[in-house]
Chain A
Amino acid sequence: MQEKTITVTIDENGISTLDLEGFAGKGCEKVFEDFRGGDMVKVERKKPAYYTAQVDQQEKSQR
């Protein structure tokens, strides 16, 4: 299983990027909110693993 990591990069304009790796499905939402810390989200992208995990979950529930 891939290790879960969170990378926060903050530039001199006060813009931060938040990159969550190794999470599946909705497991990253709480971690995301912890690290967002009330900041204003300008761009948000879910990565392919999120959707893969969602499909896996749906397939399991249909069985």
Chain B
Amino acid sequence: MSKYSINQTVLREEKYLVEALKEMGYEVEVHPEGAPLNSYYAEQEAKVANLIIRRQHLRGAYGDIGFTRQPGGQFAVVKDELDEHRGYGARWVGRVQQLYKEKQTLAMARAKGYPLISHEVIETAQGEQVRLQFAVRR
């Protein structure tokens, strides 16, 4: 035994974020220079994002949802406040982060040579947990 930590997932790598959103069933537009988001109220100031899911692909949503690259390198979610209560609030973002972290971890482990021992999805009272176990090559 040696170390234990609890971490908040930070969305940094576009590739795994796009993969996570696609796994959730969305079509994702990638705009390296940024593109405007459509919102419910046309008079609202247009927000710009680098990754965009258009509202026609978001069941019940009022506006598009985007992810904008921040100066520190991480992506921030940009969306219409109205959609917080249409199924695209913190829980939706958490699910995106869960899938992102799963994909990022598996890819990093493959690249750096940590063999995967087990990959499980566990049902808990708090929802699904993804559990990955790796070994260290000697």
Contacts and interface: CB of A to CB of B under 8 A. Distances in A.
Contact of A20 (B4, B94, B108, B132): B4
A23 B136 CA distance: 10
Interface string B93-130: 11111101110110011001010010000001011111
Interface in B24-48: none
A34 to B, nearest CB: 6
A39 B9 contact: yes
Interface string A17-43: 111111110011001101111111111
A20 to B, nearest CB: 4
Contacts, number: 153
Contacts of B101: 8, 10, 14, 16, 37, 39
Interface of B: 1-10, 12, 90-91, 93-98, 100-102, 104-105, 108-109, 112, 114, 117, 124, 126-136
Interface of A: 3-24, 27-28, 31-32, 34-50, 53
